[in-house]
Chains A and B, each alone.
Chain A
Amino acid sequence: MNRRRDDGQAEDADLARRMRAAASGNGSAAGDKLRERFSARLSESAARTGVVPIEIDGRKLEARRGATVLAAAMKNGIRLMHVCGARKLCATCRVKITAGAEYLTPMSAQERLSLRAHLSLGSRTRLACQARIEGPIEAATVFPLCGDLPESADGGKMEDSE
């Protein structure tokens, strides 16, 4: 048993050595321009931390720090459903946080309860009406947006009645 483990470790070490040797040429390039751009951009963005760059469904937006995800989305024309009026009841505003979940305010007991009641409590799902933005996040919407119902949803009745 022990011998087998030793063999495995030796094999691992050998693989590590070979992979490092193979990757050894990949780290270098002249990047002084990028270094400059990076420093400039960093000092620029550090000067205005009241505004947070976020991404919803791949759209790059700016949100006020401390705003809820729902408010930031609505302000930028992404009309998330929020049937209960942002009272953490309906969970129709829920979004999937694909990156930066640690930059949202922690989940309250009620939010957790609501998500659990709607069978959608997971490590990445948040109620947009409750989670406040403290840093850059990436989120994806779960439900269709308001106004995005397919044309056939009204059954063509609007035209018929006229």
Chain B
Amino acid sequence: MRTPAHDAVPEDGAAEASPRDGEAALRAPLTRGDRAAAGEFYDSYAPRVRRFIAGSLGSFGTRQDAEDLMQETFISMAEALPFFRGESTLFTFACAIAHRKVQSFIQTGARRARLAAGIDLSAQATEQGGTRDGALLRALDAISPDYRELLHLKYVEDASVAEIAAIRGESEHAVESRLARARRSLKKLMGRRR
């Protein structure tokens, strides 16, 4: 049984993450390793990071995979935070680490065999698709993971092109043109399956 998780997170990411001006105040104790600040950081960013991982992983992994990646991300973050100097926002910093974890997970292709066998993943997709926006969910499942991540950052997290570029380590120009292609691809997939 999967846990019904719809009620815990507000629909738009506005409520759970603190506004940017609160960040500087949080950053100083965080880089010193203050435990209370660490807890606060976890509380305000974990839902968004988890959602980012789930969004960019899509049908490529199970919930357990997403949870594993979540753990890896936060442990790496704990090691990297003392060196963080605030060149980017904390969310960008967190997503950049999560992005690399997800990419290396996808690249290792450890789950390819299971994907090919088509176990439980398609079931998960249709189950969700039955109750919610089916056309969109199916299209997101079919689209390439790279595009899915871009679309998630742009539309769910409402990240700017500059932020996306920082997260993915690409140029803004590259992000813009990829985004356009991702949108086209999504539209095409949605049109076909409707």
Question: What residues of chain A have their CB less than 8 Å away from a CB belonging to chain B?
Answer: 12, 15-16, 18-29, 31, 34-35, 37-47, 49, 52-53, 98-100, 102-103, 134-136, 138
A27-B8, A99-B169 known; A15+B155 contact, CB < 8 A: yes
Contacts of A52 in B (CB 8 A): 83
The one of B8, B31, B39, B100 in contact with A39, judged by C-beta atoms closer than 8 angstroms, is B39
User: A31 with B70: in contact, given A21-B132, A44-B33 (CB under 8 Å)?
Assistant: yes
Closest to A46 in B: B33
Contact residues in A for B12 (Cβ distance below 8 Å): 20
Cβ–Cβ contact A134 & B83, under 8 A: yes
- Cα–Cα distance between A150 and B115 once the two chains are bound (Å): 37
Chain A, Cβ-Cβ closest to B48? A27
Cα distance A47–B35 when bound, in Å? 12
A37-B75, A46-B81, A49-B83 as given contacts; A20 in contact with B55, CB under 8 Å: no
Q: Are A34 and B132 in contact (CB under 8 A)?
A: no
Number of A-B contacts (CB under 8 A): 144
Residue from A15, A21, A102 in contact with B11 in the complex, judged by beta carbons closer than 8 Å: A21
9 contacts between A and B (CB under 8 A): A23-B152, A27-B48, A28-B9, A29-B67, A38-B77, A39-B42, A43-B33, A43-B38, A100-B80
Given A20-B11, A43-B38, the answer on whether A27 and B50 have CB atoms closer than 8 Å is yes
Set of chain B residues within 8 Å of A53, measured between Cβ atoms: 79-80
Q: Which residues of B contact A99 (CB under 8 A)?
A: 96, 100, 169
CB 8 Å contact bits of B157-185 with A (1 = contact, 0 = none): 01000000000010000000000000100
Beyond contacts A28-B9, A38-B42: 20 other A-B pairs, Cβ-Cβ < 8 A, are A16-B158, A18-B136, A19-B156, A20-B13, A22-B132, A22-B137, A25-B4, A26-B9, A27-B5, A27-B8, A27-B51, A31-B46, A37-B75, A39-B38, A42-B33, A45-B79, A46-B32, A46-B33, A49-B82, A49-B83
